[in-house]
Amino acid sequence: MAYWHQLLEVDLTAGDHSTAELSEEFVRTHLGGAGFTTRLLYDRVGPDVDPLDPENVLAVAPGVLVGPSVPTGSKTTFGFKSPLTGGYGKSLVGAKMGDQLKRAGYDALTITGACDEPSVLVIEDDDVRLEPADDLWGLDTRETHDRLEERYGSAFRSAIIGPAGEHESRISMIECEDRQAGRGGPGAVMGSKNLKAIAVKGSMDVPVARPDELEELNQKWRLETTGRGEIEISGTGDASVDVQYGTGEALDAKNTALGIFPTRNWQSGYFERAYERLEDPSEDRISLDPRSWTEEYVDTKRPCPYCTKPCSQFFEAEDTEYGDIAVDGPEYETQYALGGNVAVDDIEAVSKANEICDRLGLDTIDAGNAIAWAMEAEERGLLEDIETEVDLEFGDAHAVLETLRKMARAEGDLGELLKDGHVRAARRAGGGEEFAVHVKNQAPAGFEPRGIKGMALAFGVSPRGADHLTSCLYALEMNGDFWEFENYDRTRMDGKALALKSMEDLMAVYDITGVCKFTRGLTLEEGVRELVNAITGFDLSRSELLTTGERMYNLSKAFNVREGFDRDDDRLPARFTEEVPNGPNEGESIDEELYERELDRYYTARGWDTDGVPLTETLGELDLLDVADDVGVTNEIAVGQ
């Protein structure tokens, strides 16, 4: 149960669709969500396909627990070859359209080809059709959503690109009604296919193997995730504080106590200006810390479907210096990328920047890092040949907002320079790569690794590029304890490899099942396993469930290996080897020799060779024999190097 065993395949070039059966072996081995999209991507997109070619696949799959009211079971995965990294692409979102896709009778969707003209893909149970979208092309995501609602009705749920996706920006995202599939450039994939939107409505109940057992578990986890249960939270703090202030609730601690809040293009992990200016009575701006602004600006929440632990903070303000503002957020990652990293300390400005990104279709993390890079490049005199038309100075909020608008529409020299992210911008400008902070061309999340060193390794090895959610290792690093691990020291590089591998496998389970990682300290693998078994009837053991996560992770790594990625792609940007100039981690840096040693240990823990290629034996043990034939190696692992 839990499955329709149906894959919907849409060919935009031919203008038709078909269904394929997903075998019992396929669904049991990969379960759903990112498990499905990763396998489909590996099978259908080879190294000869450019990410913006029609042959690239956009694979969409709700997690196996999406649909039957599982608390926080909302996540749908978009899988694709990434226009940003050139490798494995994965972006998860609490999308109502994913829930509707499941209710329409499909476990997954693949989209290939390209439309001749801008189009909308409409899915209404077994009625699948393409409709013209010439009138929508050029509109922002909210304008498009409103038009779709007028056209199809409010019961349809959507995935939409903005102008950034239309211009094939490699840092463009897909908007899913206040939620974003942001990382890796999925918006550019839709844009390259002339696909403005996907609109979905389903009418069926998701099949459940043991409905009474599932409802009992749902009731249990509703209590736990709302803080009324009996389970002690593992390494995540007070659940009520998480809900009250959202993902940025620990911003002050990250900045002033831990010194891991990236500032001024990662030159530091301590945003000193944001706190010094509070002592100036002439300053009336609200700080970035959500504890200082939620009461004034947040009256409502717009949570993901089935959410019982809502981190949503819908920010509203009128007649500000930056105009009216209405946006879900800003999340912590946006507070860093469009706040600290560009030295803007005004929450109204950051929220307006967030709104611009959401409406025009930019990933806030990579967009903020592109602007931060440009500001440092301007300081260094590297943009003298670029007609910026904007004063690119750290701390200039208006410059940030105007630059975002230019980037999304590729307007002028500056828009063209930055629209594909800061790494390509440095190459186009002919300098500045040494301070373009990235792994595999993707900007990191807001954890300054010189003060939280396990995250350096996590950023380095993540198959989709620098990323925090692939492992959530920061939950262990910041608290010292999480799940099966205790007494971890964030200031040390050594000893993190095994924990990282284990955390990645666990978080892959969340990506497969669709349960929100904001509950990671509650559900852990045992709670998720109970839910999976109730809905599927599989009776998976703990080991079998974690192996499913490990299988997905190795498959994503194999995708990159087949694309030509190697150990060099798991190394860190030069900035992290520089000493932090101020704050709690003053003088700290990443020691390259220690990093390389721990990278060896990580590869060993994974069952890969010292170049980061999975061993044939490892892939065989994970039932990936065909993948082993493609990329597996038989070299002995060099232990302890």
Q: For the chain, what is the radius of gyration of the CA atoms?
A: 23
**pLDDT for 314:** 96
pLDDT at 122 over 50: yes
Residue 537 located in a structural domain:
yes
Give the domain range for residue 516.
Answer: 449-628
* Amino acid sitting at position 150: E
Q: Please indicate, yes or no, whether residues 175 and 307 belong to a single structural domain of this protein.
A: no
12 with 115: CB under 8 angstroms?
A: yes
pLDDT bucket at 226, cuts 50 / 70 / 90: confident
Residue 363 located in a structural domain:
yes
Q: Please indicate, yes or no, whether residues 557 and 500 belong to a single structural domain of this protein.
A: yes
What is the DSSP pairing of strand 298-300 with strand 314-320? antiparallel
Q: Please indicate, yes or no, whether residues 269 and 120 belong to a single structural domain of this protein.
A: no
**pLDDT for 227:** 81
Residue 208 located in a structural domain:
no
Residue 102 located in a structural domain:
yes
Residue 209 located in a structural domain:
no
Q: Please indicate, yes or no, whether residues 67 and 115 belong to a single structural domain of this protein.
A: yes
Q: Please indicate, yes or no, whether residues 501 and 358 belong to a single structural domain of this protein.
A: no
**pLDDT for 395:** 96
Tell me which of 435, 468, 499 is where a domain ends: 435
Residue 55 located in a structural domain:
yes
Residue 635 located in a structural domain:
no
Rounded distance between C-alpha atoms, residue 466 and residue 71, angstroms = 29
Look up the pTM and report it.
Answer: 0.96
Q: Could you give phi then psi for residue 411, rounded to 5 degrees?
A: -90, 130
What DSSP designation does 344 have? Answer: -
Q: Please indicate, yes or no, whether residues 391 and 455 belong to a single structural domain of this protein.
A: no
pLDDT bucket at 637, cuts 50 / 70 / 90: very low
459 with 477: CB under 8 angstroms?
A: no
Number of neighbours of residue 236 by Cβ within 10 angstroms:
20
**pLDDT for 436:** 98
Which of 425, 76, 149 shows the shortest CA–CA distance to 265?
A: 425
Considering the chain, what percentage of its residues have pLDDT values greater than 70? 96
* Amino acid sitting at position 199: A
Enumerate the β-bridge partners of residue 180: 175
pLDDT bucket at 636, cuts 50 / 70 / 90: low
Q: Please indicate, yes or no, whether residues 296 and 429 belong to a single structural domain of this protein.
A: yes
Helices (H) and strands (E) in the chain, counts: 25, 15
Q: Is 526 exposed, middle or buried (0-12, 13-18, 19+ CB in 10 A)?
A: exposed
562's enclosing H/E stretch is helix 542-562
Q: What is the mean pLDDT of the chain?
A: 95
The CATH number for 325's domain is 1.10.569.10
Phi-psi category of residue 472: left, alpha or beta, with phi > 0 → left and psi -120 to 50 → alpha: left
Tell me which of 410, 435, 460 is where a domain ends: 435
pLDDT at 235 over 60: no
Tell me which of 403, 435, 467 is where a domain ends: 435
335 with 386: CB under 8 angstroms?
A: no
**pLDDT for 639:** 40
Q: Please indicate, yes or no, whether residues 623 and 576 belong to a single structural domain of this protein.
A: yes
88's enclosing H/E stretch is strand 88-94
CA dihedral 589→594→596→601, nearest 10 degrees, is: -130
CA dihedral 18→23→26→27, nearest 10 degrees, is: 90
Residue 442 located in a structural domain:
no
Number of neighbours of residue 584 by Cβ within 10 angstroms:
15
Q: What tens digit of pLDDT does each residue of 128-172 get?
A: 999 999 999 999 999 999 999 999 999 999 999 999 999 999 999
The CATH number for 539's domain is 1.10.599.10
482 with 234: CB under 8 angstroms?
A: yes
pLDDT bucket at 199, cuts 50 / 70 / 90: very high
**pLDDT for 278:** 55
Q: What tens digit of pLDDT does each residue of 355-411 get?
A: 999 999 999 999 999 999 999 999 999 999 999 999 999 999 999 999 999 999 999
Which residue's entry shows tokens 């509707």? 100
Residues whose CB falls within 8 Å of the CB of residue 154, separated by 6 or more in sequence, listed in order:
none
Q: Please indicate, yes or no, whether residues 128 and 262 belong to a single structural domain of this protein.
A: no
Count up the domains in the chain and report the number: 3
The CATH number for 33's domain is 3.60.9.10
Rounded distance between C-alpha atoms, residue 399 and residue 390, angstroms = 6
Q: What tens digit of pLDDT does each residue of 241-261 get?
A: 888 999 999 999 999 999 999
Q: What tens digit of pLDDT does each residue of 535-584 get?
A: 999 999 999 999 999 999 999 999 999 999 999 999 999 999 999 999 99
Q: What's 457-501 look like in SS3?
A: HHHHHCCCCCCCCCCCCHHHHHHCCECCECCCCCCCCCCCHHHHH
Q: Please indicate, yes or no, whether residues 386 and 483 belong to a single structural domain of this protein.
A: no
Q: Please indicate, yes or no, whether residues 491 and 618 belong to a single structural domain of this protein.
A: yes
The two three-digit tokens of residue 456, written as one number: 């350096």
141's enclosing H/E stretch is helix 141-152
pLDDT bucket at 640, cuts 50 / 70 / 90: very low
Q: What tens digit of pLDDT does each residue of 47-101 get?
A: 999 999 999 999 999 999 999 999 999 999 999 999 999 999 999 999 999 999 9
Q: Please indicate, yes or no, whether residues 258 and 342 belong to a single structural domain of this protein.
A: yes
**pLDDT for 287:** 82
